[in-house]
Amino acid sequence: MLNFPLLKTGAAMQYPAELSVRYATEVLQYVDGSEQRYRDSGTPQRQWIVRLDLLDEQELSAIEHLFVAAQGMIGSFAFTDPHDGVEYTDCSFALPQIESRYVDELRGQARVIIRQNRSQ
């Protein structure tokens, strides 16, 4: 199993750490205007926006290698949520590319969006 790489500090991401939690809800609207709502899935879907600045070449390379190993959005990997410390074992990249660049010699930045896959 693949794991999202930790930084040399032991953290998975830097602050500000953005997390969104969504429930899939369906809404049926009837002719009389009343509505019925129900969850399409019993579990919420989490999504993290991971912004990483001041990465060294090795840290940035580890993220790029994970993206290649996971075959972009197709594969899955484990990601530990820094908010609650829970490891979510079935996550994927939410975009078909990662934003990474070298700012200076031996210093880079990256931005990735990670989405928890629905298991149900």
Strands (E), 1-117: 18-22, 25-29, 35-39, 45-55, 77-80, 87-93, 99-104, 107-116
Q: Which domain holds residue 59?
A: 18-116
User: 28 lies in a domain?
Assistant: yes
> What b/e string do you get for 78-89 counting C-beta neighbours within 10 Å, with b at 16 or more?
ebbbbeeeeebe
Considering its fold, how many domains does the chain have in total? 1
- pTM beyond 0.85: the answer is no
* Helix, strand or coil, per DSSP, at residue 89: strand
Decide if pLDDT at 118 tops 80: no
Q: What is the mean pLDDT of the chain?
A: 86
51-61: pLDDT as tens digits = 888 888 888 89
- Report yes or no on 4 lying in a domain: no
- The reported pLDDT for the residue numbered 120 is 46
Distance separating alpha carbons of residues 113 and 10, to the nearest angstrom: 19
